[in-house]
Amino acid sequence: MRLSTTSYLVLGMVALRGPSTPYDLKRATSRSVGYFWNFPHTQLYSEPERLAASGLLAVDLEDSGRRRKTYSLTPEGRAALQEWLAAPTAEHFEMRDVAELKLFFNEAGSPDDDVPKLAQEQIRQHEERIAVYEDMVSRHGDEDWARPRMITLELGLEMEHAALRFWTALAAGTIEDLRRERDERDIR
Amino acid sequence: MRLSTTSYLVLGMVALRGPSTPYDLKRATSRSVGYFWNFPHTQLYSEPERLAASGLLAVDLEDSGRRRKTYSLTPEGRAALQEWLAAPTAEHFEMRDVAELKLFFNEAGSPDDDVPKLAQEQIRQHEERIAVYEDMVSRHGDEDWARPRMITLELGLEMEHAALRFWTALAAGTIEDLRRERDERDIR
DNA sequence: AAGCGCACCGTACGTTCCGTATGGTGTGAA
DNA sequence: TTCACACCATACGGAACGTACGGTGCGCTT
């Protein structure tokens, strides 16, 4: 049985939160891990079902009211999660940036130059996202962002700032400075 | 008719390269745009077919030897590409980083601490990728990386360096310094 | 306390994506 | 010449995705 990364995400969330319904997971992921691992919420209904079929989650059906399933971790599920956490990580991080694609193809298709507008949009978007991350940092008390997990926010922030630097330099026409600054930094 | 981002990627590549077979596109993308927009090569056989059905690409079948289809841009295809390039970009960039997920869930599942090993792996991987990018920069003569498109490499490099800084700091236990350095940088 | 409106919750469904696996095609070496 | 291997193309099944819709119950109004 082959588990996808999303499977482990579900296992991990259940491990963090304890017994959860898909909707619980939906709410919890949308304001935490969902920021760096996006997926449709329907996965949170189908995926636990599959995991339950493999014995990695246990299901508890609520008999009254809204049909609703509560999933909890089995010993096998916890073992699978731990094994995954301890295993080497072959996959390099992936990104999909539509703006970067447009920049790449820009010269190909457009008679007038769309780059400045694109850069401005991106600057605004990354600034917005940085604000979101900072907000998450500030309310580090809640369950989704207890202390140990706050570290990942720093990675998100580093990435956002990197992108922001790039688009800002592009808008200002000072791309060459980026490389120089990186070199300086490496020397230190 | 709704086009996916991958559709535009195909249109863009054909626009850059001129008439191309799926395999041409496969080779060209694997060492350029594939680095920041990953997808299976089978898409490069199915996607052009769909685009041809919509009239955005024209097909030319080779009659002899290997069955092989050459796709070229139609005026409608070029128009669609230009429209996309000029349109606002709503999507924020997405990333999927398995290592980040593991870091997030680490506390949840593992009795012993897997983080140092994880960090070391990531440092190595990002350094490798940086070398690849630098190599691409150095051979900026070839068709896939003609001058205008080299700019996107700088974005890739900024992101890789950001990630590398993070994992290095994590391994060294100096995460707090990252934030301080960012603040200093913002002030300048 | 009955009715109503709306936010909440779950799932169905059609499409696209994805990975794997396989088979055909040409070319260079022995 | 033939054999091996890299090159090229596609089939196929399952997972992911987005959208859209239908059910459910809570709170508000009167």
Chain A closest-CA separation from residue B85 CA (Å): 6
Is A17 a residue whose pLDDT tops 70? Answer: yes
Which residues of chain B between 69 and 88 are close to nucleic strand D, CB under 7 A? 69
- What Å value separates CA A160 and C1' D24? 41
B82 and B126 assigned to the same domain: no
A102 and A182 assigned to the same domain: yes
B124 and B49 assigned to the same domain: no
A124 and A71 assigned to the same domain: no
Is A110 a residue whose pLDDT tops 60? Answer: no
A79 and A104 assigned to the same domain: no
Q: Say what percent of chain B tops pLDDT 70.
A: 90
User: How large is the average pLDDT for residues B106-119?
Assistant: 76
Distance CA B109, CA A8 (A): 11
pLDDT of residue A170: 93
Is B102 a residue whose pLDDT tops 60? Answer: yes
* Residue A30 Cβ < 7 Å to strand D: no
* Residue A115 domain flag: yes
Residue A136 CB neighbour total at 10 angstroms: 19
Q: What is the pLDDT of residues A144-178, one digit of tens each?
A: 777 778 899 999 999 999 999 999 999 998 998 99
Among A59, A86, A113, residue at a domain's last position? A86
Q: Which domain holds residue A119?
A: 98-187
Q: What is the pLDDT of residues B133-172, one digit of tens each?
A: 998 888 766 667 777 788 999 999 999 999 999 999 999 9
pLDDT of residue B149: 83
A104 and A82 assigned to the same domain: no
A148 and A175 assigned to the same domain: yes
Tell if the CB–CB gap between A101 and B5 is shorter than 8 Å.
Answer: yes
Structure tokens at A129: 């996202």
A60 and A141 assigned to the same domain: no
- Model confidence at A120, pLDDT cuts 50, 70, 90, reads very high
Q: What is the pLDDT of residues B24-77, one digit of tens each?
A: 999 999 989 999 999 999 999 999 999 999 999 999 886 666 778 999 999 999
DSSP A61-107: EE-SSS-EEEEEE-HHHHHHHHHHHHS---PPPEEE-HHHHHHHHHH
Average pLDDT, chain A: 89
Q: What is the pLDDT of residues A76-90, one digit of tens each?
A: 999 999 999 999 998
Q: What is the pLDDT of residues A32-67, one digit of tens each?
A: 999 999 999 999 999 999 999 999 999 988 766 667
Tell if the CB–CB gap between B158 and A158 is shorter than 8 Å.
Answer: no
Is B111 a residue whose pLDDT tops 80? Answer: no
* Residue A51 domain flag: yes
pLDDT of residue A43: 96
| B36 close to B22: Cβ distance less than 8 angstroms | no
Chain A closest-CA separation from residue B67 CA (Å): 29
Chain B closest-CA separation from residue A65 CA (Å): 32
Picking from A165, A123, A107, the residue whose alpha carbon sits closest to that of residue B155 is: A165
A13 and A41 assigned to the same domain: yes
* Residue A185 Cβ < 7 Å to strand D: no
A41 and A108 assigned to the same domain: no
Distance CA A148, CA A145 (A): 8
B78 and B107 assigned to the same domain: no
Q: How many domains does chain A have?
A: 2
* Residue A64 Cβ < 7 Å to strand D: yes
Among B63, B86, B109, residue at a domain's last position? B86
A128 and A174 assigned to the same domain: yes
Among A45, A64, A86, residue at a domain's last position? A86
| Mutate which: B16, B32, B83, B100, vs A, most A CBs within 10 A | B100
Minimal-distance CA residue of chain A relative to B102: A85
| Mutate which: A43, A85, A188, vs B, most B CBs within 10 A | A85
